[in-house]
Amino acid sequence: MHEALGQVSFDSEDLILVDSSDQVVGNAPKKAVHLPGGQLHRAFSIFIYADNHLVLLHKRSLDKPLWPDFWTNSCCSHPRTGESYEDAVQRRLGEELGIQTPLSRIYQFEYQANFETVGTEHELCAVYIGHLDRPIDITPHPNEISHWGWFDLEQVDQWVANKPEEFTPWFLMEWRALRNDHADKVTRLISNSA
């Protein structure tokens, strides 16, 4: 669960710099890697499904420096220096959503996106999914998340098609990949875990 709802993201936390093959090339503070232009670093995105046809999405807090008040996937962040992907994703689920559940890694991709003149995401992002038997109430961290909800998958498809400007750029790429390129794998995983 949340660590007494203290701060969970820090500009000074060391992130893992990598090349396009996910080989570690160094580390740098989070604020530095997100400056305009960006530095390629490890990241992850998590999608939590429930009841085979719902997905948990959230709106990023207004406190976020990049893409504040945009809708995005269930949870996302970065492994810190010396931290494995597996430890990082479970840590962040607890910090951001106040839950724990098994996760499966689906794929990894590299992207770069600029947010106005404020900064850049340049990430090698691993995408994970998890599944709950039923939608649950969560207690999101208020510094990270302003709104959240469970949405029908087809409802999200329509939302993305009609109002893509309401979503983070990485979410749009990930959603299309999960719904098209990896649909069979996702369906199998969320059906088998139900």
For residue 89, give the CATH number of its domain: 3.90.79.10
The whole-number pLDDT of residue 193 equals: 65
Is residue 2 one of the residues assigned to a domain? no
Residue 156 lies in a domain: yes
The tally of domains found in the chain comes to 1
Token look-up 């979503």 returns 167
For residue range 19-77, what is the model confidence (pLDDT) as tens digits? 999 999 999 999 999 999 999 999 999 999 999 899 999 999 999 999 999 999 999 99
pTM (two decimals): 0.92
Query: Is 109 contained in some domain?
Result: yes
What ranges make up the beta strands (E) of 11-166? 14-18, 24-29, 41-50, 54-60, 71-72, 75-77, 104-115, 119-132, 145-152
pLDDT tens per residue, range 81-136: 999 999 999 999 999 999 999 999 999 999 999 999 999 999 999 999 999 999 99
The one catalytic residue among 95, 96, 121, 123: 123
**9 in a domain, yes or no?**
no
6 part of a folded domain: no
**Does 162 map to a domain?**
yes
Catalytic residue selected from 76, 96, 125, 144: 76
Distance CA 73, CA 45 (A): 7
> Are the C-beta atoms of residues 132 and 48 closer than 8 Å to each other?
yes
pLDDT number for residue 22: 97
Q: 116 catalytic, yes or no?
A: no
**Residue-number span of the structural domain to which 183 is assigned:** 14-192
141 part of a folded domain: yes
Q: Which of 39, 36, 43, 95 is nearest to 66 (CA)?
A: 36
Neighbours of 63 (CB within 10 A): 11
Please confirm, yes or no, whether 123 is among the known catalytic residues: yes
